[in-house]
């Protein structure tokens, strides 16, 4: 179920990427520091390399997913960035709603597994 949602999110993100490739303008990107973006990218790259080179544990998968989803919500990316694309706001609203629901499901899964993730990921919303 969670993996299916991730694939759905990826398809929506690909829509945003196609809008950028089509030459649509995006505003407020500068709101996010290059350093913060680079750090998040590095975190994701490490997680991807780990997943490709070994089989990560369920705890590693949940911790990584919680970190990524929470950072998207906390940054308010979908509310901050604007575009001249007619579809952009619609896609961002859909992604924002879906990400919040997905994050709650991840917290529920973490609770179900019974592992304390508070050391690595704060639950504040």
Contact 99, 45 (CB under 8 A): no
What is the C-alpha separation between 22 and 25, in angstroms, rounded? 9
Answering whether pTM is above 0.95, one says no
Q: List, in sequence order, every residue forming a beta bridge with 26; answer none if it has no partner.
A: 83
- Under the banding of pLDDT at 50, 70 and 90, the label for residue 97 is very high
Greater confidence (113 vs 43) lies with: 43
Model pLDDT, residue 117: 61
> How much is the average pLDDT of 28-36?
88
Alpha carbon of 32 to those of 16, 25, 81: distances in Å? Answer: 17, 16, 10
Q: What residue has token string 């996010």?
A: 32
What is the C-alpha separation between 111 and 113, in angstroms, rounded? 5
What is the C-alpha separation between 99 and 101, in angstroms, rounded? 5
Model pLDDT, residue 121: 47
Query: Of the given ranges (12-16, 18-22, 87-91, 115-119), which has the lowest mean pLDDT?
Result: 115-119
């Amino acid at each position: 179920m969670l993996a299916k949602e991730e694939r759905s999110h990826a398809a929506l993100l690909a829509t945003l990427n196609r809008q950028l490739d089509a030459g649509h303008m995006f505003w407020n990107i500068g709101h996010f520091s290059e350093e913060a973006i680079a750090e998040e990218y590095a975190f994701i790259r490490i997680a991807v390399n780990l997943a490709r080179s070994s089989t990560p544990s369920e705890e590693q998968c949940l911790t990584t997913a919680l970190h990524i989803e929470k950072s998207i919500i906390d940054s308010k990316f979908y509310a901050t960035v604007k575009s001249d694309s007619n579809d952009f706001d619609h896609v961002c609203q859909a992604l924002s709603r879906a990400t919040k629901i997905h994050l709650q499901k991840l917290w529920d899964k973490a609770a179900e597994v019974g592992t304390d993730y508070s050391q690595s990921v704060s639950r504040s919303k």
